[in-house]
Amino acid sequence: MSETVRRVAQNAVWLAIGEVAVKGALFLAAIIVARSTGPEGMGVFSIAFAAAILAVMVLAAGQQEVVIREVAATPGRAGTLLDAARNVQNRLGRWVLPALVVGALMIRKQDLRLALLAFIPYALLRTLLVTHGAAFKGLDRMDMEVRARGLEVMIVLPGLAAVGWAGLPVWTTGVVFSVGAGAALIWLSIRSHNLDRPALETNQEEHSSGTPVWRYFRHEGLPFLALAVASQLLARADTFLLVAFKVSTQEIGFYGAAGTPVWGIVALPILLAVALYPTLSRQAAAGRSPLPAVGIAIIFGGIMGSALAVAINAWREPLVLLAFGSDFTPTVALLSRLLWVLPAKFIMTFLGLILAAWHRQHLALVAVGAVLVLSIGLNLIWIPTMGALGSANAAVAAHAAGVLILVAIAVTTPRFDGGPDEP
């Protein structure tokens, strides 16, 4: 077995273990919340958690991908590069965090307002956690973030069970998630102190391009930031639009329950792509063509996503009833429709990471942005007449269009030649 194959296989195994454990735990968390608070509480939780994950994407400033790529290229400066990324995030966070608090306080519904506020600390802590984890991923130490997230869910699940048993309001779930993320961050940040930091002054350390490292990271992170926010909006804007159209919180709870297994499964292509990302980045730096990887991504992603959609669809009713209970029967129809996002989502994930490895993240952003606009447009048309089912239909149609757009970009753009952009 070659060193490259061994490294990719090792990364994939650790990420698979982590994603199965974490996504499985999040699925259990959703079940606990649904059974303890009912469809109404599940709706509040779905909205608040979606807002928190979107906030993570903004606060991260696109730095995870930049850190992985840069550390993979220069592992002897991992600590310095991590510090530069945190510099960028700190500058952005001074503006974003107060805005999040003000936005949450403007919500009239008390339980939703409190839930949004309770999840703000989680958004910040989760941002720091994934950024520290990115430095280790660039060193092919995928196990570090996996261990940290494992500690997080070991705290969250018993905490949620205690909250449900005590009959506490749904907003306290945000406190539980924050405590779990905080413990995981402490564990990982202690270990990040051992990363190499050859430069004493990170702000003055220069990148090979001749600019300060943190400025280079800010520049490189912007496309990733926009791409991450657009991707999250693509997955979660429907929830916010359902709220805007005054769809009942109960129906949003049904939709949130349907989306829990679907968006959890989407982590599978992400973990495979992340496992390959350092290796692909090295191939890009060596001037190799990405086109073979593009072909494999289309075939492999389509087959894997379709197989999972068919398998889960066959067992959708017992899955919903067993997991969420008879109160969530309307979730069955929503899950049956939403599952068909998977084939397109798998392909889009693989193609997006390939573009990023070859410093073409701006092209992936164009594709995701176009799909987001289409998704919002379809939601605006279908939600008034179809409710949550309209959002499910819009997700499937928009992601199918996204595959066509990304494939067209990947195989036709003249700049897609394996050479990195200049910062």
10: amino acid identity, one letter: Q
Q: Residue 420: is its pLDDT beyond 70?
A: no
Q: What is the mean pLDDT of residues 99-120?
A: 93
When pLDDT is cut at 50, 70 and 90, the band that residue 8 belongs to is low
Q: From the centroid of its chain, how far is CA 378?
A: 23
Mean pLDDT of 341-366: 83
Q: Which two tokens stand for residue 257?
A: 């329950």
pLDDT the model gives residue 201: 45
Q: Tell me the pLDDT band of 4, cut-offs 50, 70 and 90.
A: low
- The verdict on residue 381 lying in a domain is yes
Higher pLDDT, residue 369 or 270: 369
Q: pLDDT class for 200, splitting at 50, 70, 90?
A: very low
Tokens, residue 126 = 């989760």
Question: Mean pLDDT across the stretch 349-363?
Answer: 78
Q: Count structural domains, the chain.
A: 1
Regarding predicted confidence, which is higher, 398 or 412? 398
Q: Is 17:153 a contact under the CB 8 Å cutoff?
A: no
Longest CA–CA separation in the chain, Å: 62
- Cα–Cα distance between 415 and 419 in angstroms, integer? 8
Indicate if the pLDDT at residue 203 is higher than 70: no
Place of tokens 């599940």: 42
| 353 contacts 274 by C-beta, under 8 angstroms | yes
Cβ neighbours for 156, distance < 8 A, ≥ 6 positions apart: 25, 29, 176, 177, 179, 180
The amino acid present at 203, given as its one-letter code, is: N
CA dihedral over 276, 52, 25, 324, signed as positive or negative: negative
The answer to whether position 417 is within a domain reads: no
Specify if 420 maps to a domain: no
**pTM greater than 0.85:** no
Give the contacts of 257 (CB within 8 A, at least 6 positions apart).
30, 34, 39, 42, 320, 323, 324, 328, 331, 335
> Is 376 a domain residue?
yes
pLDDT > 70: percent of the chain: 87
Average pLDDT of the segment spanning 205-221:
65
293 or 403, which is more confident: 403
The stretch 296-309 carries a mean pLDDT of 89
Where is 369: in which H helix or E strand?
Answer: helix 361-386
Say yes or no to pLDDT of 355 above 90: no
Closest CA to 215 of 358, 92, 128, 87: 87
254-284 b/e (C-beta count within 10 Å ≥ 16 → b): bbbbbbbbbbbbbbbbbbbbbbbbbbbbebb
The answer as to whether 418 is a domain residue is no
In a domain, 114, yes or no: yes
- 39 within domain boundaries: yes
CA distance 306 to 285: 33
- The per-residue pLDDT of the chain, averaged, comes to 84
Q: Which pLDDT score, from 0 to 100, does residue 205 have? A: 53
> Under 8 Å CB-to-CB from 192, ≥6 apart: which residues?
79, 82, 132, 135, 136
In a domain, 423, yes or no: no
Sequence letter at residue 1: M
Instruction: Mean pLDDT check: name the lowest of 85-99, 132-146, 226-240.
Output: 226-240
Q: What pLDDT sits at residue 9?
A: 66
Minimum mean pLDDT among 72-76, 98-102, 305-309: which range? 72-76
Average pLDDT of the residues in 250-264: 88
Q: What does the DSSP assignment read for 101-120?
A: HHHHHT--SHHHHHHHHHHH
Distance CA 13, CA 287 (A): 28
Q: Return the structure tokens found at 336.
A: 């049956």
- Residue 5: per-residue pLDDT: 61
Sequence letter at residue 248: S
Domain extent at residue 109: 3-412
Q: Residue 49 pLDDT > 80, yes or no?
A: yes
